[in-house]
Amino acid sequence: MLRKRLLWLSQSVLALVLQTIPGTLAGSVPCAATSLVWGPGLEAKVVLPARYFFIQAADTNGRNFTSSPGEKTFEVKISSPTEPFSRIWVQVLDRNDGSFVVRYRMYATYTDLHIQILLQDMDVAGSPYVLKGVVYHEGCDCPEADGEVWAGRMHCPASFPQIDSDLSLFPEVHLQSIATEIPQRFGQRQSLCHYTIKDNKVYIKTHGEHVGFRIFMDAFLLSLTRKVRLPDLEFFVNLGDWPLEKRRPPEKLHPIFSWCGSNDTRDIVMPTYDITESVLETMGRVSLDMLSVQGNSGPVWELKNSSGIWRGRDSRRERLELVKMARANPHMLDAAFTNFFFFTHDESLYGPLVKHMSFFSFFKYKYQINIDGTVAAYRLPYLLAGSSVVLKQASPYYEHFYRQLQPWQHYIPFKADLSDLLDQLHWARNHDDEAQKIASAGQEFARAHLMGDHIFCYYFRLFQEYAKRQVTEPEVREGMEFVEQPKDELFPCYCHHTQAKDEL
């Protein structure tokens, strides 16, 4: 009798414990059926240098995890049934917020790619995902003939506000005249590339001495024309740091594509060479890109150091001010030079040079200081993608996406002369929840607007809109050379683009 009662008692205790488990213990176990999987890397036709998709861990009740369930929670296997030795490099990156980004780079083209996502040997969500048909790799020269079909598959927005604004100054582009006038105006002192795209082939003529940076533009144009057929185009790319067109209407403006824009110039902005190259070289030559940064964004917010952090070189006077300020306020701000190049290095004012700090280590700190260099600081996309909050200097310089950013929503602004930087740091420390919210919104913006597919979309829409304004036929001009697609002899690729329209 006594034993029975004890048994009953223990059973009721057990029942009580079980009732509470869903909210606590059992709730913290990730579940294969309720976890979510989505992203462009699950679509055969979204050809990118590195493809990617996301996994959101959820518990048995379908509640999202908001912190990491463990770096090794999910296993991803990618294979092609027709090719036993597939050369596909896969990485699962823990974003530390309950979600993961999976990226993979294919070195050959495959048929019917199988993507299996496993949680302790159980298939997650709709796994295995089958990418039916031919799945092209980055090196494959197989452009989709219909630009709108391609843009639809890439989920490109119909327009970008910055493109509309930039091109509004150029209702008509007279190619014959810019072909002579732009080199005359800028060709001596600046470094420019004159490109013509004709029948989706790339031709170039360079002007000026320092044209090494053409490799970024060449590589991108070749990559884009492997994916989609571009309209015939003729345009000039400025390889220098500073935008060039200082004239104002009603003076005659010349259309020049630049990597950085400014309030007092009329250049047409493109994504910077930095982000462009990192898109092409993700899982290749570069280690800092918009995907890697998501898997290396440091400790969770609560564990981050509450100082501002900055490292860099002396490419602008305000940077000297920043370092001086940090030396006077070491409890608020850690800013130091890794290199002196433009100004004379006075150690008594600016301290000793410090060792290079890895970019990912910046995210040990809550507050990321973004301050102009020669022009805009091209690190902003990566800073936004991390899990810290960005403090951005007011600046006349901008990149292609700044127009879509809002102060106090995506970043904390501070004045160009840095006079309120310490105040803003104090504000952030005293409004920790709000600062964290801004950090998340900035991160969300980067994830939604600055990934590889968005960069491809931006360039494509820009070229498409510019092409509409050309009032004469683009020509392969005298002195232009043909820019050849790299040969992929190891993994030749055969195009099968035929039923494009039917599939949509």
Question: With respect to ligand NAG, which residue has the nearer C-beta, 200 or 374?
Answer: 374
- Asked if 228 and 136 count as a contact pair (C-beta separation under 8 A), the reply is no
Q: Which of these ranges, 67-75, 230-238, 380-388, 391-399, lies near ligand NAG under the rule CB under 6 A?
A: 391-399
Q: Is the peptide bond before 128 cis (omega within 30 degrees of 0)?
A: yes
C-alpha separations of 72 from 57, 126, 265, 380 in Å: 12, 19, 49, 30
**Binding of ligand NAG by 472 (CB under 6 A):** no
Closest approach, Cβ 485 to ligand NAG, in A, equals 38
Single residue of 94, 277, 314, 334 touching ligand NAG by CB under 6 A: 334
Question: With respect to ligand NAG, which residue has the nearer C-beta, 336 or 450?
Answer: 336
Closest approach, Cβ 102 to ligand NAG, in A, equals 14
Q: Are strands 192-198 and 122-123 parallel, antiparallel or unpaired?
A: unpaired
Whether the CA torsion 205, 209, 212, 216 is positive or negative: it is negative
With contacts defined by CB under 6 A, how many residues of the chain interact with ligand NAG? 11
Binding mask 39-58 for ligand NAG (x = CB under 6 A): -----------------x--
Question: With respect to ligand NAG, which residue has the nearer C-beta, 284 or 413?
Answer: 413
Local structure of residue 59 (DSSP, 8 states): B
Give the chain's radius of gyration (CA, Å). Answer: 26
Choose among 53, 45, 51: nearest CA to 136: 45
- Quote the tokens at residue 195: 């490109």
Question: With respect to ligand NAG, which residue has the nearer C-beta, 109 or 272?
Answer: 272
Question: With respect to ligand NAG, which residue has the nearer C-beta, 200 or 305?
Answer: 305
By the 10 Å C-beta count (0-12 exposed, 13-18 middle, 19+ buried), 403 is classed as middle
For ligand NAG, the binding residues in 151-170 under the rule CB under 6 A are none
**Binding of ligand NAG by 263 (CB under 6 A):** yes
Closest approach, Cβ 412 to ligand NAG, in A, equals 15
Instruction: Taking each helix axis as running N to C, give the angle between helix 214-227 and helix 273-280, from 0 to 180 degrees, rounded to the nearest 10.
Output: 50
Single residue of 28, 79, 305, 472 touching ligand NAG by CB under 6 A: 305
**Binding of ligand NAG by 399 (CB under 6 A):** no
Closest approach, Cβ 364 to ligand NAG, in A, equals 8
Question: With respect to ligand NAG, which residue has the nearer C-beta, 296 or 395?
Answer: 395
Single residue of 265, 297, 395, 443 touching ligand NAG by CB under 6 A: 395
Choose among 22, 129, 122, 130: nearest CA to 74: 122
**Binding of ligand NAG by 116 (CB under 6 A):** no
- Asked if 464 and 187 count as a contact pair (C-beta separation under 8 A), the reply is no
Question: With respect to ligand NAG, which residue has the nearer C-beta, 180 or 409?
Answer: 409
- Asked if 393 and 318 count as a contact pair (C-beta separation under 8 A), the reply is yes
C-alpha separations of 107 from 51, 86, 146, 283, 502 in Å: 12, 9, 25, 11, 28
Choose among 121, 84, 86: nearest CA to 104: 86
Single residue of 26, 27, 29, 36 touching ligand NAG by CB under 6 A: 36
Question: With respect to ligand NAG, which residue has the nearer C-beta, 444 or 484?
Answer: 444
Q: Which of these ranges, 67-75, 122-130, 289-297, 388-396, lies near ligand NAG under the rule CB under 6 A?
A: 388-396
Cα(293)–Cα(144) distance, integer angstroms = 31
Single residue of 28, 34, 60, 64 touching ligand NAG by CB under 6 A: 64
Q: Tell me which residues touch ligand NAG (CB under 6 A).
A: 36, 56, 64, 263, 305, 307, 334, 394-396, 416
